[in-house]
Homo-oligomer: A and B are copies of this chain.
């Protein structure tokens, strides 16, 4: 039993704290006392503590007694928070998905003799782990990740509820997508190249360009083709693009009734309300990872649902349990390297890979693998 601190009591942070508390002494921290109180009602063995992670000394003092930090703060706070954690010489598993390059902190982590595993969710996260594993065992020529979190009940027009911060969803609809094609990094407009894709138990979904490759662009320079696309119910992208093309996502403030308002900020606000996922609203996670080799392609498919028994969202399950799997794997000493590591550098080790997949399987997050021979023209 180790002493674990989880930073951030959002939907995923709470689920991780509850999961870790099964085998460890866990403290959950958040800036919001009400949120903490609510989580504690679900898991009595959990300790909670109010903390503002932007207060450097408070943060560094709070994490002192712990063996491992699991960080699930909002993305815009992620990089700075990780820097403070590494300065304090603490090991960390991170799913804040911050926009900055995590490898900039690699030197600090090595100097302080600690380990940071970043981007440890479902996507990014499991896609990287799967690719990391197979990349060591075959010549990979292509990688594709299709992924989406979707509500079970579809409300027109967007047919969408945000299983994580809507501000991050909208950010994903703005940032251009970085792909690798024929060995070159290319930038594609986000929300483009829509294609219809069939998924068992779900039906037809729409996949479009989004910027999800992240560290893979740097860590897998030998793979000539890599892309990530986001999945939504058909129609969603069309309405998002209608908003975007007519100025609703613009950043330049416009004057409304005497005050300056940012269209993007305003639109986000409206969509937050429209996309608010009810606490017990059922949602699913759908993912298909294709790893292409010279003779065969390996396809992993995930279909995961809201857990009615534990009232845990599928996004919390698939994202959070990947991070708790990684945390437990780390605590068991399976990954002794020091520095900052994206998940592909963890998944390449057979023991790590198996540990994580089995941990997830125990929680009924199941990746079905299929192998198909490549047809030569």
Contacts and interface: CB of A to CB of B under 8 A. Distances in A.
B259 A261 contact: yes
Contacts of A242: 156-158, 239, 242
Contact of A157 (B158, B241, B256, B259): B241
Nearest to A242: B157
Contacts of A98: none
Contact of A265 (B256, B271, B273): B256
Interface in A267-319: 269-271, 273-274
What bracket does the count of chain A residues touching chain B fall in? Answer: 20 to 34
Given A157-B242, A241-B157, A247 B270 contact: yes
A164 interface: no
B269 A254 contact: yes
A194 to B, nearest CB: 14
Contacts of A34: none
A266 to B, nearest CB: 5
Contacts of A274: 246-247
Contact of A246 (B256, B265, B266, B271): B271
Contacts of A362: none
Given A239-B239, A261-B261, A256 B245 contact: no
A126 to B, nearest CB: 32
Contact of A255 (B245, B257, B269): B269
A159 to B, nearest CB: 11
